[in-house]
Structures are given as structure tokens and as C-alpha cells.
Amino acid sequence: MATDTTARAGGEFVLGGELPVHRLGFGAMRLASGTFGGPARDPQTGIAVLRRAVELGVNHIDTAAFYGRGDVRAHELIRAALSPYPDDLVIATKVGPLADVTGLPSGQAVPEQLRGLVEEDLRRLGLDRLDLVYLRVGGMAPPGGESVADRFAVLAKLRDEGLIGHLGLSNVDEAQFGEARSVAPVAAVQNHFHVQHKDDAELLSRCAAAGIAYVPFFPLGGGRAPLEPDRLAKVAAAHRASVAQVALAWLLATSPALLSIPGTGSVSHLEQNMAAASVRLTDEDLIELAG
């Protein structure tokens, strides 16, 4: 499959009712390192990936302060590559996790720490206002089991002060989603979801009905639970596409509220991911992929 397709081919969604973004975006987690424990990548490669992503129509970049390895950090790569930022670029970040000595986001900030984390993101990205800030809940644990109201209220106050444009939630269950919505409007939810991990389908439906973006993390399995190629190979062959491209196309076909943010530290891999925007799955394909 050709790799000159742009993100525009995947369609558009209006975040928070005012920020139009292409539904195929870019996740910055792998810019600095392939894994949290892996070696740091050449920062010039990360800068090249980001600039190529914008050339290919990406106008939604997802990042976090803890994305990095050593002195190579996603925030700084984004600023070096793209500042002054294009007018249509939406940068989303996450606050809440606290990295341990290994770099893993295993701890959680208390409400009193969130303002400092938001101000740090503003400084490192070189922005006066963050377009979208997710409250990431639970560290490395599965979603659920704790209240989010106090922390979400802090972010809502920062939004009222103009430091944040829109609020999101990450790694939450339906109860936490409802609790946060009772505090302030939610523009986006970022949870674990892909073609072979569909446990969150009900929350995705609730988001779509409310005009809230649903943004899967680990859209290609994330290395923890890799995609099973045999289940995707037949459809991929029919479209002369890769398994990863079909998996991304499936996300775009699943709901108009779903935004995909595959990440990579390679320009060629980025171009392959963007080409997924032109894969048009048929009803028969979707039945096949449903298993």
C-alpha cells in the first residue's frame, strides 16, 4: 500500500465542540524510546518524525511529561520540532502519574500537586494554555476503585483560570466517568481499546452519544498484548495492507467519535500508519474482524 496518504483521509472530529482534529493523530510515547525501559533514541529522529507527521496532516498530538528516557523527552522534542506551533495543532497532555526511579509512571499525584504539573507542562511545551489535559488515573493499575472528583475539580479550576482549554480522563471506568462529568464537562476519554481488546465498548458508546471523543491508548496492542496477526491477515491481504493498518482502519470504522493516536519513533513507520486512513473496511471485513 502507498504511504503518501495524509491524516485527512481518516475524517474529522470536533473536540470539546470547538477544536476540529483529524481522527488519525499521533501519540508521542515512543518518540524518546521504544519502551519505558529501553535506550533513548536520537532526538533528531524524533524531531523528524514530528515534522513529517504535521506534513502528513496530523493536527492532534498526544503527549505526557513522563514520556521520555534520560535527557530525551517528548515535550521538548515537540517544542523543538514544531514551535511556533501551527494554528490548527491540538496538543493533549496527561497529568496525574508520577514516574519512579525507573521511569515508570507507577505513582499518582494528590490534588495539591496537579497545578504544579500543569504549569510544568505549559513551561516545557512553551504554551500559555493547554488545549486538552487528561487526568490519568491509577498509575499502572487497571481502571476503577477510586474517586476522581477532587482531582478533576482542581483541573476544572485551572480550566476556569484559562490555563486549560478542555478536560479529559484516562484509564477510567464508567463510574469514574460519571463522577467526573458531575464535576465538569469531559471532552475526551483515553482508555485501553483495540480490535482485539473491546472491553470498553459500552463506555465508547456513551462517549459517542454525548459527543465526547474516545481516544484508545495501545491502539496496536502496545507490546503488552500484541495483536494476533492470524485474525487480521485475511482482511489485510484483501486490502494489500499490513495487519497494523487494518487494526487502525478498524478503529476509525468503529465509531465516528473514536480518535486514533498510534505512536512511533520511525518516519517510515509513521507513513505506514498514516496510510491506514485510506483503508476502507467493508461490512464483511468488520464481521470477519469481530471473530
Query: pLDDT digits over 3-40, tens only?
Result: 567 999 999 999 999 999 999 999 999 999 877 677 88
Average pLDDT over residues 60-80: 95
Average pLDDT over residues 133-138: 96
Dist. CA 63–CA 85, nearest whole Å: 15
Indicate if the alpha-carbon torsion angle 87, 41, 63, 112 is positive or negative. negative
Closest CA to 215 of 186, 235, 243, 242: 186
pLDDT number for residue 107: 86
Q: Is residue 94 predicted with pLDDT exceeding 60?
A: yes
Give the chain's domains with CATH numbers. Answer: 17-226+257-265 (3.20.20.100)
Pairwise pLDDT comparison (4 vs 150), residue with the higher score: 150
Q: How confident is the model at residue 101 (pLDDT cuts 50, 70, 90)?
A: confident
Contact between 70 and 103 under an 8 Å Cβ cutoff? The reply is: no
pLDDT number for residue 224: 60
Written as nine digits, the cell of 29 is: 510515547
pLDDT number for residue 142: 84
Q: Is residue 167 predicted with pLDDT exceeding 70?
A: yes
pTM: 0.95
**Other Cβ atoms within 10 Å of 240 Cβ, number:** 10
pLDDT number for residue 131: 98
- Calculate the average pLDDT of the chain: 94
Average pLDDT over residues 151-170: 98
For residue 72, give the DSSP letter.
E
Q: Is residue 182 predicted with pLDDT exceeding 80?
A: yes
Dist. CA 163–CA 131, nearest whole Å: 9
For residue 277, give the DSSP letter.
G
Query: Catalytic annotation on 67?
Result: yes
Of the residues 67, 85, 134, 214, only one is catalytic, namely 67
Dist. CA 155–CA 198, nearest whole Å: 29
Indicate if the alpha-carbon torsion angle 263, 269, 270, 274 is positive or negative. negative
Q: Is residue 164 predicted with pLDDT exceeding 90?
A: yes
Average pLDDT over residues 184-196: 96
Dist. CA 92–CA 186, nearest whole Å: 13
Average pLDDT over residues 66-86: 95
Cα→Cα distances 182→125, 132, 287, Å: 30, 18, 37
Q: How confident is the model at residue 225 (pLDDT cuts 50, 70, 90)?
A: low
pLDDT number for residue 38: 79
Dist. CA 155–CA 167, nearest whole Å: 7
Cα→Cα distances 245→68, 129, 179, 229, 259, Å: 26, 34, 35, 12, 15
Radius of gyration of the chain (CA): 18
Residues forming a β-bridge with 134: 94, 168
Q: Is residue 189 predicted with pLDDT exceeding 70?
A: yes
Dist. CA 44–CA 218, nearest whole Å: 24
pLDDT digits (tens, 9 = 90+) for 258-271: 999 999 999 999 99
Q: How confident is the model at residue 286 (pLDDT cuts 50, 70, 90)?
A: very high
User: Would strands 188-190 and 164-170 be described as parallel, antiparallel, or unpaired?
Assistant: parallel
Q: Is residue 1 predicted with pLDDT exceeding 80?
A: no
User: Can you list the pairs that 198-205 forms with residues at least 24 positions away whose Cβ atoms lie under 8 Å?
Assistant: 202/174, 203/173, 203/174, 203/177, 204/254, 204/255, 204/257, 204/258, 205/255
